[in-house]
């Protein structure tokens, strides 16, 4: 049993230096006068086992998990939230009654950002996800849990998209979840009926373009989103073409809001967290 109060929080990853999460959580603790401290914890894969073995007896209340550990941590966790079970990955951990509990707030963070910042409700809509990696898993689960009608998944490796769609079709039998090949003519066929585009590949982080995207087929009412939070050529093109857009900063904010509420059982000071996140991003971009 831990003899000292749990006041430590943080984010584990490799690399982790780029993370903006400390800025938003520290600002929230300050606003609510909570005696917590949030730091970056650089952990290599081989260091996970020892880190987790010391947790219950430590001062940690919890932490976030980022690339590349979101799946690797599953081996060390005692209990999972329904979302974490569905997604098969964890981005938030809480040490609760001496148990290590895993959550996944990424996908719901994306949905909250759509709702609160764009007044966009996913129920009954049709979405296209570009990418079939870890982030796409969380997005599919959250869209399905929030009543989406149809999801198309388009990925460079078609087999990966197919296997993802097969897995989630079994979990959500009433929702059409279909893989499509990443070719201009296939995309052109489906785009007119799409209400929401979600760019979830890592393309754009270093200014890379999204290939073969037939913009002229997209309905003018479609909301175009990118989960990368720094500026990307994909969102720049969408803006140029006068589509409504949303970048990944909202997803980052609301996954953090949900994690904060899991750890503290208090309502997160969203505006304070948003301001801190924006400032941290501007600072980061000014250094690049
Ligand atoms: P993964 O490594 O799990 O997946 C990467 C995806 O990008 C795969 O679909 C991969 O396709 C695709 N991809 C990579 N390189 C290329 C390329 N050259 N051409 C075409 N497709 C490519 O990463 P994640 O899913 O975890 O993360 C994806 C992005 O989302 C990252 O940029 C990350 O920063 C961002 N993200 C943002 C969050 C937020 O809060 N805003 C939260 C989580 C992630 P293939 O399968 O063919 O390799």
Looking at ligand 1, which residue's alpha carbon is closest to its atom 1?
A: 133
Mean pLDDT computed over 206-215 = 93
pLDDT in tens, 261-282: 999 999 999 999 999 999 999 9
Q: Is the pTM of this model over 0.85?
A: yes
Pocket perturbation via mutation, ligand 1, pick of 13, 14, 133 by most ligand atoms within 8 A of CB: 133
Residue 97's pLDDT band (cuts 50, 70, 90): confident
Nearest-atom index, ligand 1, CA of 137: 25
pLDDT, tens digit, for every residue of 40-67? 999 999 999 999 999 999 999 999 999 9
Positive or negative torsion for Cα 173, 132, 152, 148: positive
CA atoms of 11 and 64, how far apart (whole Å): 4
Supply the pLDDT for residue 15.
Answer: 95
How many angstroms does the Cα of residue 130 sit away from the middle of ligand 1?
9
pLDDT score, position 78: 97
Reply yes or no on whether the pLDDT at 2 is more than 90. Answer: no
Under a CB-based contact definition with an 8 Å cutoff, are residues 171 and 144 in contact?
A: yes
Number of Cβ atoms within 10 Å of the Cβ of 39: 13
CB neighbourhood size of 120 (10 A): 17
Known catalytic membership, residue 171: no
- Asked if residue 3 has pLDDT above 80, the reply is no
Q: Looking at the predicted structure, is the pLDDT value of residue 158 above 90?
A: yes
Selected catalytic residue, list 70, 94, 125, 274: 70
Q: What is the pLDDT of residue 5?
A: 83
Instruction: Tell me how far the alpha carbon of residue 128 lies from the centroid of ligand 1, in angstroms.
Output: 15
pLDDT digits (tens, 9 = 90+) for 182-193: 998 999 999 999
Percent of all residues in the chain with a pLDDT value above 70, rounded to a whole number: 99
Is residue 235 pLDDT above 80, yes or no? yes
Q: How many residues does the chain have?
A: 288
159-207 residue pLDDT tens: 999 999 999 999 999 999 999 999 989 999 999 999 999 999 999 988 9
211 contacts: CB under 8 Å, gap ≥ 6: 182
The finding on whether 277 has its CB within 6 A of some atom of ligand 1 is: no
Pocket test for ligand 1, best of 24, 202, 258 (most atoms within 8 A of CB): 202
Ligand 1 centroid–CA 134 distance in Å is 7
CA gap 220, 267 in Å, rounded: 37
In this prediction, residue 76 carries a pLDDT of 98
Distance CA 201, CA 120 (A): 22
Q: What's the whole-number average pLDDT of the chain?
A: 95
Task: Enumerate the H helices of the chain as residue ranges.
Answer: 21-31, 48-53, 82-87, 106-118, 134-145, 158-171, 184-190, 233-240, 249-264, 270-287
> Cα separation of 149 and 266, whole Å?
33
Q: 210 CA to middle of ligand 1, Å?
A: 12
Taking CA atoms only, the protein residue closest to ligand 1 atom 4 is: 133
Distance CA 143, CA 150 (A): 9
Residue with CA at minimum distance from ligand 1 atom 43 = 135
Ligand 1 neighbour 156 (Cβ under 6 A): yes
Digit-coded pLDDT (tens) for 103-114: 999 999 999 999
Q: Which ligand 1 atom is the nearest neighbour of the CA of 208? A: 18
């Amino acid at each position: 049993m831990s003899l000292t109060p749990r006041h430590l929080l943080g984010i584990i990853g490799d690399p982790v230096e780029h993370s903006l999460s400390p800025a938003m959580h520290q600002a929230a603790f300050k606003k609510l006068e909570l005696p917590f401290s949030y730091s970056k914890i650089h952990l290599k894969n081989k260091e996970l086992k020892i880190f987790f073995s010391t947790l219950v007896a430590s001062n940690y209340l919890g932490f976030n998990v980022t690339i590349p550990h979101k799946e690797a941590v599953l081996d060390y966790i005692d209990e999972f939230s329904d979302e974490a079970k569905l997604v098969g990955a964890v981005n938030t951990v809480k040490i609760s009654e001496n148990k290590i509990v895993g959550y996944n707030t990424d996908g719901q963070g994306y949905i909250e950002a759509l709702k609160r910042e764009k007044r966009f409700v996913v129920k009954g809509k049709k979405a296209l996800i570009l990418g079939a990696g870890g982030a796409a898993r969380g997005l599919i689960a959250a869209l399905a849990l929030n009543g989406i009608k149809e999801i198309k998944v388009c990925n460079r490796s078609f087999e990966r998209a197919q296997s993802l769609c097969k897995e989630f079709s079994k979990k959500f039998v009433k929702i059409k979840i279909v893989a499509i090949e990443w070719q201009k003519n296939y995309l052109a066929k489906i785009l007119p009926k799409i209400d929401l585009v979600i760019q979830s590949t890592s393309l754009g982080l270093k200014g890379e373009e999204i290939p073969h995207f037939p913009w002229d087929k997209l309905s003018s009412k479609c909301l175009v989103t990118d989960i990368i939070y720094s500026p990307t050529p994909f969102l720049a093109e969408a803006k140029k073409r006068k589509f409504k857009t949303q970048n990944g900063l909202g997803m980052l904010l609301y996954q953090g809001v949900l994690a904060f509420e899991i750890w503290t059982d208090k309502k997160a000071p969203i505006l304070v967290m948003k301001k801190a996140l924006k400032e941290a991003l501007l600072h980061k971009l000014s250094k690049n």
